[in-house]
Structure 1
């Protein structure tokens, strides 16, 4: 028996830029050096990576951000394969090639991969961005999370001289020490769609929207150099609050602003973070880089009335089925980590060959409660350690790369009691008594690799092919939050954490493509397929999260034409489709879905 519900995802945009461009088309052509991608972690340039890579400079971002677009919307327009913005401050449904991207800031995560509201793109100050690097495909070099690729936001450094600009940043350099102070504040009122209708403040259940918010933040960036040593650092904090006036009416299509005054507390996002990197270009082993990072983030979701969009809610008590007004979700994540990367030349063996190797350690602490302080998920801590090696060897006009990464995660879930819940069904209200979940410590191990090649066919044309793997621990918190006993209607039952824990997800990606960079015309074209045996699927009818085999495939294209010194034209196209094994029997029932649907998890 086969069941097909075909649905494909496609994005296309026609882009026009009328600002001056860096590369001139006259005889005095300015040729810029290739950017070394922080997101590659290996010191690689775009032309040497056997996969799809995209770099968006601050100038291209600034034009759109000044026009009122948010960063997630800009990336959804400029990056083929990145799902369009969902109109909220949470990007849970904004996937890259149908899978979860890993969001990094200066190569470091800001929140835990174990449980998150996916707000990183909405929270960063746009004025602090130097560029955005996107590396697509399954990538394991940064550890847990990048099954769809990496989006690395590179922030501005102090630079040279002294400067103050309208974004309230001040740069000052004293000999080898550079300092950059950033202060920002932004606010937004009501938002309206193209027909003039007001967009509700919570258009996607519990996420919180992009209207009626105030955000303020500050950061200090520093760099210092002496001889072959260089130190860079960034420390900062931000806070955001969203004031919702009315509940969302989810019975209309599209959803609309309701008439019932909002009774929950403000949506919020508060974070403190640091990132410190030491680099030495001339050690006995080669160029060595050590990064220390950490963050402490508190987030509150929007309160959602029980109803068609929220059929499972927390009651006042087992004998009072009314929705608890304090059952508004708050998430706290703390992360600490270190990353060591060494680039060792192998010129004695083969000219231009090198090996990049290193190791990581990480610590995550995650809790989620509602306003009264009761746990909604099992409080969790995770320790991780990983090691990787990447070999790059030029052979004539071909650059060959191969790598491997070994990872171990040690996850500890505390004992907790999943609160009483009420399930709304057409036949009435059903009480789901609380369930006691016994914790424990569980280890995940994974060894993944990559192999690829880039053929430099001409100075302008590169052809690339590669296979790669990525590893991710799915949202463990969502599994424990939906803990169900064998008899879900019998009170006082106990289930072990081991029966709820998801499997580590390993994603395999194969890609074939080309890149062309001429004087006036540049572009790229690629096709990919990715598979996994442990895809995460949420069933809203049963409020359960399960894992099944899945496959995603698609293609992407981008084209840029420099018409004149003041006009640049471009277009991007992305298409993707996927399916998953709905009955988990190895293939008898496959459901074809839009990849962004199959990887989205429910409300926070």
Structure 2
């Protein structure tokens, strides 16, 4: 470890990032409730302050507040979570990472990531209007298993509330940049009913977005292959229903169904930018070649809970997800005579989660959970029109028992620990790569892997206002198997050389070790929270750009960073927020065991600072002004073999909410209020004409919602 890193750790003995959330902070009761927010993503229903690590809970009020500015979950998370990469404002979330590594995305505990072929489209599987809160646990996690090398992002969906009696909600949203073709609209409806015996929540939304414009009043360019949220239409049908039974209504069965579709309206064709000349891409009217670029995701989730089973809580969950992502027309080199086609990634995911919770077994304010998780995923990437396989038919199976516990050792010291034994089997059929990738034989087979991952943490209450924590967590995941198998850049890129699935060094699992220290301060008016961390993968799987494609390279990687969050109640009706994050990384490019180069900026996030003011004018009117600044970044000596430079930028957003009482609620949001012209982070560091896009200029959003 470098002297710089050691010094930074010493100086940054700092505070856990946002274990409370920043909702309408003018309401002191809300602030108090946030301090005891229960987090479920850790596999134990526990208060956030009992988790030794960086935890962010984005509450329903915060989601509504941020949706007033941007109705996009990736943008909300990028704004509210330290060390999260800026949103690309595209359908693809390629390049979006948490602490420089992949985050496991969950919807009510159901994984959205595809373990065998990433595709980078799992950011759009549910509409924001269906989400009640967002739980983010940063850093590698052994609690949820496969894929959580950077952390866990769990979308907790909406349920009926005890006060709901055939409650109906209608809402509408108009978004515009004051251009005729830049205006979009959204409508949504919800019906909810709560009874001691049964409850349900039924909702639907329809969202049509217009064209985006940048700060220079030029149309924002489109990624015609990966997909767009501008000039798109999305719909979501959502249902959650529960039935309580038993002697004391201590048993519950709950069903969730969600169907989300988003697709391009195909009204424009892309015009490439010029990276060297600094000219961002744009669009012109026309119809793109081929079928619409779409995401279609269906989720079915059945859960049973017994709250008095052998003096504990028994929970059983089974789920199924069907996922289809169609990409735009591209040069695949499908055959010697047909070059262009469209790719589609299809995945069928099913699984179960079984857990048993016990509390106060040792009379030490202790919590225990014993569980078993199972997951099966069948994935293939094909070409739409020629019906050729881009990847073989692949299958993933895993079975993982685990145990997790936390307890008080003394009045001031709390320990947490856990272990998870992950076993997985990956299968591949025989296949041939596409003509453009060498037309190589893929020799199918079966690979079995197993690994035990651990977590250990401690929280020490130094005073009533200050606690310190330290944690060690391991994460376990697979590289992008499909990317390795589909092309001639596998372990041996020689043309006409068979790719043997049973001997793929580049596809072995990745184990990530995450070390973290920090502290929290909670005063009468000031809350301060930060942490510093070190993440090491001895055999990491990094995407490295070669030509026009990213390859999977197995390299030792080390990521270091620190995060700071603070909240100050300046006056009764005025609150201030400050958030800062720093991430850096090194890699071993020549596999000699020494870290010799900076990480590709695509795998990192720039340093950034968020400043915000929350103001309550009266009982009906409140607002928020926030400023998010991304700092410059330059990497002269890095893993991609060429210098990368990012010109930072700052964006200011404004939101206001007015309660009309029985007549409903109105909110106004202004994104990029000063109409700043900028090229987004990913476009700058991708350094390609095809991916060189401006960010959104000034955009107005007017929302109205009524309950009856």
Q: TM-score with structure 2 length normalisation?
A: 0.75
Corresponding residue of 2:314: 288
Whether 2:204 is the aligned partner of 1:183: answer yes
Which residue of the other structure, out of 211, 217, 220, is the alignment partner of 1:196?
A: 217
Q: CA deviation at 1:194?
A: 2.0
Corresponding residue of 1:99: 101
Query: Equivalences for 1:176-575 in 2 at 5 Å?
Result: 176-202=197-223, 206-226=225-245, 227-244=249-266, 245-252=268-275, 253-258=278-283, 261=286, 262-284=288-310, 286-304=312-330, 313-315=331-333, 317-318=335-336, 320=337, 324-325=339-340, 327-347=341-361, 349-371=362-384, 372-395=386-409, 396-421=411-436, 432-484=437-489, 490-491=495-496, 493-500=497-504, 502-541=507-546, 543=549, 544-575=551-582
Q: CA deviation at 1:24?
A: 4.9
- With over 3 angstroms needed to count, the CA separation of the structure-2 counterparts of 1:67 and 1:158, relative to structure 1, is same
CA deviation profile, 1:60-99 (whole Å, cap 9, x unmatched): 1112212234221121111111111122112121100000
Q: CA deviation at 1:562?
A: 2.4
Q: CA deviation at 1:549?
A: 0.4
CA distance in 1, matches of 2:272, 2:136: 36
- With over 3 angstroms needed to count, the CA separation of the structure-2 counterparts of 1:536 and 1:488, relative to structure 1, is closer
Contact preservation (8 Å) 2:220, 2:283: no
CA distance in 1, matches of 2:407, 2:202: 42
Contact preservation (8 Å) 2:70, 2:76: no
Contact preservation (8 Å) 1:138, 1:146: yes
CA distance in 2, matches of 1:332, 1:343: 35
Q: What 5-or-longer segments of structure 1 have no aligned partner?
A: 1-11, 305-312, 422-431
CA deviation profile, 1:146-193 (whole Å, cap 9, x unmatched): 000001111111222221112300002344100111110001010012
CA distance in 2, matches of 1:486, 1:173: 57
| 2:52 match: secondary structure | coil
CA distance in 2, matches of 1:577, 1:198: 34
Q: CA deviation at 1:566?
A: 3.6
CA distance in 2, matches of 1:36, 1:438: 48
CA distance in 1, matches of 2:495, 2:355: 53
- With over 3 angstroms needed to count, the CA separation of the structure-2 counterparts of 1:19 and 1:511, relative to structure 1, is closer
| 2:295 match: secondary structure | strand
CA deviation profile, 1:410-446 (whole Å, cap 9, x unmatched): 110111110011xxxxxxxxxx531110100110111
Contact preservation (8 Å) 1:462, 1:515: yes
| 2:583 match: secondary structure | strand
Contact preservation (8 Å) 1:111, 1:295: no
- With over 3 angstroms needed to count, the CA separation of the structure-2 counterparts of 1:573 and 1:69, relative to structure 1, is farther
CA deviation profile, 1:427-474 (whole Å, cap 9, x unmatched): xxxxx5311101001101111101110112233322111111010011
Corresponding residue of 2:81: 79
CA distance in 1, matches of 2:390, 2:430: 12
CA distance in 2, matches of 1:592, 1:324: 34
- With over 3 angstroms needed to count, the CA separation of the structure-2 counterparts of 1:587 and 1:186, relative to structure 1, is same
Q: CA deviation at 1:488?
A: 5.4
CA distance in 1, matches of 2:47, 2:33: 15
Q: CA deviation at 1:565?
A: 4.3
Q: CA deviation at 1:34?
A: 1.4
- With over 3 angstroms needed to count, the CA separation of the structure-2 counterparts of 1:106 and 1:510, relative to structure 1, is same
CA distance in 2, matches of 1:317, 1:268: 25
CA distance in 2, matches of 1:99, 1:134: 14
| 1:147 match: secondary structure | coil
Contact preservation (8 Å) 2:124, 2:295: no
CA deviation profile, 1:227-264 (whole Å, cap 9, x unmatched): 22122221121211113411240434353125695323
Q: What 5-or-longer segments of structure 2 have no aligned partner?
A: 1-16, 171-187, 605-638, 641-681, 692-708
Query: Equivalences for 1:15-164 in 2 at 5 Å?
Result: 21-24=26-29, 34-160=36-162, 161-162=164-165, 163-164=167-168
CA distance in 2, matches of 1:267, 1:356: 42
Q: CA deviation at 1:324?
A: 2.5
CA distance in 2, matches of 1:324, 1:494: 22
Q: CA deviation at 1:358?
A: 0.8
Q: CA deviation at 1:362?
A: 0.9
Q: CA deviation at 1:393?
A: 2.1
Contact preservation (8 Å) 1:53, 1:134: yes
Contact preservation (8 Å) 2:24, 2:61: no
CA distance in 2, matches of 1:511, 1:579: 18
Across the aligned residues of Structure 1 and Structure 2, the Cα RMSD in angstroms comes to 2.8
Q: CA deviation at 1:54?
A: 0.8
- With over 3 angstroms needed to count, the CA separation of the structure-2 counterparts of 1:518 and 1:111, relative to structure 1, is same
Contact preservation (8 Å) 1:97, 1:595: no
CA distance in 2, matches of 1:23, 1:391: 32
Name whichever of 241-250 and 406-415 sits farther off. 241-250
CA deviation profile, 1:479-516 (whole Å, cap 9, x unmatched): 1112358985755x422112335110000000001122
Corresponding residue of 1:8: none
| 2:538 match: secondary structure | strand
Which residue of the other structure, out of 566, 572, 584, is the alignment partner of 1:577?
A: 584
CA distance in 2, matches of 1:588, 1:19: 45
- With over 3 angstroms needed to count, the CA separation of the structure-2 counterparts of 1:480 and 1:255, relative to structure 1, is farther
| 2:328 match: secondary structure | coil
| 2:123 match: secondary structure | helix
Ranges of 4+ aligned residues in structure 1 off by more than 4 Å: 16-20, 29-33, 258-261, 484-491, 597-604
- With over 3 angstroms needed to count, the CA separation of the structure-2 counterparts of 1:51 and 1:32, relative to structure 1, is closer
